[in-house]
């Protein structure tokens, strides 16, 4: 018996990295997983194959997080089959490294459109279905960049700080109606954004991490699964920091 036997889970940004790891982790626990992607159909197909190999089942779901109409249509398609959504994991995000003085307005706006506005639109659409049943869980993936200065990541930091604020507000609004909203706050990991960071930034983060190493994808997955599960039934609006002490 898995913790999520028969559960319907949507993971955004699941075509690779930590999103893929989270999708497979839910599948291993018996969930039906919707694998969201935007432009990497081949990589999303690899995730689906791994989901099935892990003993779960799932389907691919494509929409652009910068387009509110596409998000709404995508969530309508998810719910049209009559299977209610039990868990939404808002994992998708983009990064634009540049000093704030050199960061274009267009790049700043795009990062916030995906990382914050897109997350809000997904959450709103999912919450409507969950509220109708009086049950559901939303787990937002923030970042340690929301808690400490991250030079060169002004847009990303701002978007992830917004994710934490939005998590708290949604938790207060939706919690009384049975929908729990929480966040995980990853530090430096060996998958996801970590390998794509500038080498010098990565080295500084590693030096500042008391654990002395990057996190493993499995360690973040366990945090996400916990917050989405009934084991966390009394946890609302919490930001679970999984960073090896980087934010201390």
> Tell me, what CATH number does 53's domain have?
3.40.50.720
Nearest CA to 27 out of 5, 12, 60 is that of 5
Residue with the bigger pLDDT between 193 and 75: it is: 75
Q: Does residue 82 belong to any structural domain of this protein? A: yes
Could you tell me the residue range of the domain that residue 47 belongs to? 8-238
Tell me: pLDDT of 217 over 80: yes
Range ranked top by mean pLDDT from 21-25, 76-80, 101-105, 187-191: 21-25
Q: Does residue 3 belong to any structural domain of this protein? A: no
Q: Does residue 243 belong to any structural domain of this protein? A: no
Q: Does residue 191 belong to any structural domain of this protein? A: yes
Per the structure, the count of domains in the chain is: 1
Within 13 A of 115's CA, how many CA atoms are on the CB side? 27
pLDDT average, residue stretch 198-222: 89
Q: Given pLDDT bands bounded at 50, 70 and 90, which one contains residue 194? A: low
Q: Does residue 83 belong to any structural domain of this protein? A: yes
pTM as predicted = 0.95
- 17-28 and 41-53 helices, crossing angle to 10°: 30
Beta strand 32-37 pairing with 57-62 = parallel
Q: What is the pLDDT of residues 41-57, one digit of tens each?
A: 999 999 999 999 999 99
Q: Do 30 and 5 form a contact (C-beta atoms < 8 A)? A: yes
Annotated active-site positions, please? Answer: 156
Q: Does residue 1 belong to any structural domain of this protein? A: no
Cα separation, 166 vs 140, in Å, equals 9
Helix runs in the chain, H state only: 17-28, 41-53, 68-80, 105-112, 119-133, 154-174, 199-207, 217-228
Q: Does residue 112 belong to any structural domain of this protein? A: yes
Main-chain phi, psi angles of 146, to 5 degrees: -80, -15
> According to the model, what pLDDT value does residue 99 have?
83
Residue for token digits 């679970």? 240
Residue for token digits 């997983």? 33
Nearest CA to 73 out of 25, 38, 122, 28 is that of 122
Q: Which of 27-41, 46-60, 182-196, 212-226 has the lowest mean pLDDT?
A: 182-196
Q: Given pLDDT bands bounded at 50, 70 and 90, which one contains residue 196? A: low
Q: Which helix (H) or strand (E) holds 179?
A: strand 179-186
């Amino acid at each position: 018996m898995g913790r999520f036997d028969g559960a319907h889970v949507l993971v955004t940004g699941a075509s690779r990295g930590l999103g893929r790891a989270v999708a497979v982790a839910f599948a291993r626990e018996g969930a039906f997983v919707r694998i969201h992607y935007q432009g990497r159909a081949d990589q999303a197909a690899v995730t689906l194959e791994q989901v099935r190999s892990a003993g779960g089942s799932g389907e691919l779901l494509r929409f652009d997080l910068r387009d509110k109409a596409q998000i709404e249509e995508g969530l309508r398609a998810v719910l049209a089959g009559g299977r209610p959504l039990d868990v939404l994991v808002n994992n998708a995000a983009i990064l634009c490294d540049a000093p704030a003085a050199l960061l274009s307005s267009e790049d700043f706006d795009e990062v916030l459109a995906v990382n914050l506005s897109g997350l809000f639109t997904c959450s709103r659409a999912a919450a409507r279905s969950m509220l109708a049943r009086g049950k559901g869980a939303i787990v937002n993936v923030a970042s340690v960049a929301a808690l400490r200065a991250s030079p060169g990541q002004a847009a990303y930091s701002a978007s992830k700080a917004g994710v934490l604020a939005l998590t708290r507000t949604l938790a207060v609004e939706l919690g009384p109606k049975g929908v729990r909203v929480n966040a995980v706050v990853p530090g430096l990991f060996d998958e996801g954004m970590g390998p794509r960071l500038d080498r010098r930034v990565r080295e500084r983060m590693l030096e500042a991490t008391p654990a002395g190493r990057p996190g493993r994808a499995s360690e973040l997955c366990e945090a996400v699964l916990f917050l989405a599960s009934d084991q966390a039934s009394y946890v609302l609006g919490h930001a679970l920091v999984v960073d090896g002490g980087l934010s201390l």
